[in-house]
Amino acid sequence: MRILWICIAGAVGTGARYLLGDWILRLTGPSFPWSTLVINALGSFLIGAIMQVALTVEGFNPTLRVALTTGLMGGFTTYSTFNYETLGYFENGALWLGSLNIGGTVVCCLVAGRLGVLAGRWLVGG
């Protein structure tokens, strides 16, 4: 049954990624992969918050935790897209944009992940 919940949550995460990514792309244009950066940062924040709550709240259902992290967040984040886009910049000689994408993604996702853990602590009162 656990695998079914992971798959359902993964489908929801994938759909959410598509919708949010499309909206950001229409908002910012195709000159830089802002949608990938935003989705990875948001996903890092959310997985930090989910894990903090799930591991702190007594009785948090382990299947729900795995469905939310492996399923929902696994379907939502886009590191494979990040890799492909960054390699494309490097292959086309756009070293600055490729480096900006790496630095921006790493810094934003680390900061967002930390903020997610702090938000999770705040949610559970610790």
Residue-level pLDDT at 84 = 86
Domain boundary assignment for the chain: 2-123
Nearest to 43 by CA among 106, 100, 103, 113: 113
- Supply the pTM of this predicted model: 0.84
For CA atoms 46, 52, 53, 54, the dihedral sign is: positive
Residues 54-83 have a mean pLDDT of 93
CA distance 57 to 59: 6
For CA atoms 117, 22, 16, 69, the dihedral sign is: negative
Residue-level pLDDT at 81 = 82
Residue-level pLDDT at 126 = 75
Confidence of residue 79 (pLDDT cuts 50, 70, 90): confident
Residues 115-119 have a mean pLDDT of 96
